[in-house]
Amino acid sequence: MQSKTKIIRRTTSGAEHLSEEIAPLLRRIYAARGVNSDEELVRELNHLPAPSELSGTAEAAEILHQAMQESKRIVIVGDFDADGATSCALAVLGLKALGATDVDYLVPNRFDYGYGLTPEIVDVALEQSPDLLVTVDNGISSIAGVAAATAAGVPVVVTDHHLPGRELPAAAVIVNPNLSPEAGIGKNLAGVGVLFYVLLALRARLRKHDWFAEHGIQEPNLADYLDLVALGTVADVVPLDRINRILVHQGIRRIRAGHCRPGISALLRVARRNQQQHIAADMGFAVGPRLNAAGRLEDMSLGIETLITDSAQTAEHGAAELDLLNSQRREIEDDMRQQATAYLASLELQKESSMPFGLCIYDPDWHQGVVGILASRIKERYHRPVIAFAAAEDGWIKGSARSVTGLHIRDILDSVAVKHPGLISKFGGHAMAAGLTLLEVDYADFCTAFDQEVRLHLAPEDICGVIHSDGELEPEQINLELAELLRDAGPWGQHFPEPIFDGEFMLVNSRVVGERHLKLVLTTQDKDNFLDAIAFNQADMQPQSNQEKLRAAYRLDVNEFRGNRSCQMIIEYMEWL
């Protein structure tokens, strides 16, 4: 059974500042998400800040321009997640479209080389005889790797969005909005968003120097690559602030119109998603996981090649392989989750009052590539930060951390490292996710230190489940028209969540579908209408014979079946009354 969850209704002050041309319910929803003016809802590209406002882009553009002038070999060093893959694909495609003649990429295998531009990756890169290395979605923590490349005579341009540590790499230039967020823009950009801004700055510089005319190159429309930017941004779960909403919205528009990479179309098809009705959630829950599966289980090169190719046939083949890998990933994850749940039960931790505030779990047989997803699943169940560890090599273990709202997980790891020198070998990440490495013999000490640090920042009331609701809908509002309005009112995502409503309903009937999902037909108190609903992965909530009334928190979605479109309630949480 799932844990008890509080449903808290959002405050809606500020709706009066929004235009009356916006539907009243939408005004209330937007205001609850901090939108104070119509200007914040504009989704056109000409409302993006200029590239010059992001520190480092001009210097990066100058270095890239010089490399292109001298026909130097540029090697992109990527990362093994969806943000890294889209960043890498964007860098290769964008630089070639701008006129670079010698561009290649390298993406580390996470199991052999670890994260970022390590000295070992530099050694591999040097085999390609690069004149310039460009990191995408990594590099801000690569002190030793940048030093190794520089010593070998190869300058490094770092483009990254991860939080910097106390020391910065001695790169030729660093483009990272988190270096000076108070003075710049885009502190919430994903790695692919940072790289997009670098390409915009490069194009502006090339235009100023008559590059396109002199080389007989048609100036590319970089907006053609916003499908990649949107995918990486959503998949990396960065906050959808105003800049990111513009980038994602414009990318979705192009995907819906069929103006996207063949690989993205192919991934949508294997995920059985309607490209013409594509929404941000499809990237987060369908395309992104399939792309990530390559980096989690094998090598992200398969994902990158699927995104780069212009061949529909090659894209279809790549998408099919990624879909198979994702199925394998699910099987591994299910097995690991069952083991983790049994482990917690054996320690009598099902009583959440006795559970650590900061929860660590470890099994030497777990798969390194899947512990991040496992941490997410356990966090969702127990509503507290979780770090899942797997064995690495030579006595080391690697952990993947997932946090809860209000707890900056990278800062927590930083505090643990300061208070317990030598306990953590290395770490890095975001507010909500991070990775770390430590010795297996230090695991127990780390568990204690982590829990102690988390307890300094979270109170008992912070570690219960909370769903923020946009209120109760009238029965007549639960319809296809509202579902379609909300679908197009986004893009919704991190820090700009899709609307959730709550209410009490009467059960008409229920059945389990797909082994884990609960299909429901509900009605309201007056019993004037019947409402279709589905609760994914909540088959254990199937009602007993005496349970006829429930309270639910739900989203409205558009269900398409055999050409028919209807409104469907997606149950996020339910409790029988």
Question: Mapping DSSP to helix (H, G, I), strand (E, B) and coil, where does residue 508 land?
Answer: strand
For 81, 411, 569, the CA distances from 296, given in Å and listed in that order, are: 8, 25, 32
The pLDDT, as a whole number, for residue 351 is 59
Is 565 contained in some domain? Answer: yes
Residues in CB range of 5: below 8 A, 6 or more apart: 464, 465, 466, 467, 553, 573, 575
Looking at every residue in the chain, the average pLDDT score rounds to 92
Q: Read off the DSSP letter of residue 493.
A: B
Please name which of 415, 206, 400 lies closest in space to residue 295, comparing C-alpha atoms: 400
Q: Read off the DSSP letter of residue 21.
A: T
Name residue 305's amino acid. E
Q: Residue 110: which pLDDT band, with cuts at 50, 70 and 90? A: low
Q: Which residue has the higher pLDDT, 159 or 36?
A: 159
Containing domain of residue 407, as a range? 347-463
Report d(CA 445, CA 424) in Å as an integer. 10
Neighbours of 71 (CB within 10 A): 10
Q: Residue 296: which pLDDT band, with cuts at 50, 70 and 90? A: confident
Q: Are residues 485 and 376 both part of a single domain?
A: no
Which of 403, 431, 463 is a domain's end point? 463
Q: Report DSSP letters for 191-237, one per residue.
A: HHHHHHHHHHHHHHHHHHTTHHHHHT-PPP-GGGGHHHHHHHHHHTT
Q: Are residues 398 and 511 both part of a single domain?
A: no
Neighbours of 257 (CB within 10 A): 11
The pLDDT, as a whole number, for residue 458 is 92
Report d(CA 71, CA 96) in Å as an integer. 12
Q: Are residues 371 and 383 both part of a single domain?
A: yes
Is 2 contained in some domain? Answer: no
Q: Residue 123: which pLDDT band, with cuts at 50, 70 and 90? A: very high
Report d(CA 80, CA 372) in Å as an integer. 13
Q: Residue 71: which pLDDT band, with cuts at 50, 70 and 90? A: very high
pLDDT tens, position by position, 384-419: 999 999 999 899 999 999 999 889 999 999 999 999
Distance of CA 1 to the CA centre of its chain: 28
Report d(CA 312, CA 315) in Å as an integer. 5
Q: Are residues 159 and 205 both part of a single domain?
A: yes
455 contacts 448 by C-beta, under 8 angstroms: no
Is 10 contained in some domain? Answer: no
Report d(CA 116, CA 123) in Å as an integer. 13
Q: Are residues 452 and 481 both part of a single domain?
A: no
Across 472-499, average pLDDT: 94
Report d(CA 99, CA 79) in Å as an integer. 24
pLDDT tens, position by position, 427-446: 888 788 899 999 999 999 99
Please name which of 115, 151, 133 lies closest in space to residue 392, comparing C-alpha atoms: 115
Q: Are residues 422 and 476 both part of a single domain?
A: no
Name residue 352's amino acid. E
Residue 346 tokens, joined: 């054996």
Q: Report DSSP letters for 512-532, one per residue.
A: EETTTEEEEEEE-TT---EEE
pLDDT tens, position by position, 524-559: 877 778 999 999 988 889 998 888 899 999 999 999
**Cis before 356 (ω within 30):** no
Longest CA span, the chain? 79
The pLDDT, as a whole number, for residue 353 is 62
Is 36 contained in some domain? Answer: no
Vertex 377 angle, CA 375 and 383, to 5°:
90
Q: Are residues 516 and 552 both part of a single domain?
A: yes
Is 338 contained in some domain? Answer: no
Across 302-318, average pLDDT: 97
Sheet holding 386-391, edge to edge: 359-362, 386-391, 396-402, 433-439, 426-429
Is 32 contained in some domain? Answer: no
Q: Are residues 157 and 273 both part of a single domain?
A: yes
The answer to which of 73-87, 343-357, 481-495 has the lowest mean pLDDT is 343-357
The pLDDT, as a whole number, for residue 4 is 66
Strand partners, 507: 522
Q: Which residue has the higher pLDDT, 317 or 294?
A: 317
**The domain that contains 61 carries what CATH number?**
3.90.1640.30
Residues in CB range of 10: below 8 A, 6 or more apart: 32, 468, 469, 470, 471
Number of domains the chain is built from: 3
Report d(CA 77, CA 63) in Å as an integer. 16
Question: Mapping DSSP to helix (H, G, I), strand (E, B) and coil, where does residue 169 land?
Answer: coil
Residue 182 tokens, joined: 């108070």
pLDDT > 50? residue 1: no
pLDDT > 80? residue 348: no
424 contacts 462 by C-beta, under 8 angstroms: no
For 6, 483, 548, the CA distances from 524, given in Å and listed in that order, are: 22, 18, 12
**The domain that contains 448 carries what CATH number?**
3.10.310.30
Question: Mapping DSSP to helix (H, G, I), strand (E, B) and coil, where does residue 341 land?
Answer: helix
For 181, 189, 451, the CA distances from 175, given in Å and listed in that order, are: 12, 11, 34
Q: Are residues 476 and 434 both part of a single domain?
A: no
Q: Are residues 490 and 382 both part of a single domain?
A: no
Distance of CA 147 to the CA centre of its chain: 30
Q: Residue 299: which pLDDT band, with cuts at 50, 70 and 90? A: confident
Q: Are residues 62 and 208 both part of a single domain?
A: yes
193 contacts 186 by C-beta, under 8 angstroms: yes
Q: Are residues 454 and 513 both part of a single domain?
A: no
Integer-rounded Cα Rg, in Å, for the chain is 24
pLDDT > 90 in the chain, percent: 77
pLDDT tens, position by position, 215-252: 999 999 999 999 999 999 999 989 999 999 999 999 99
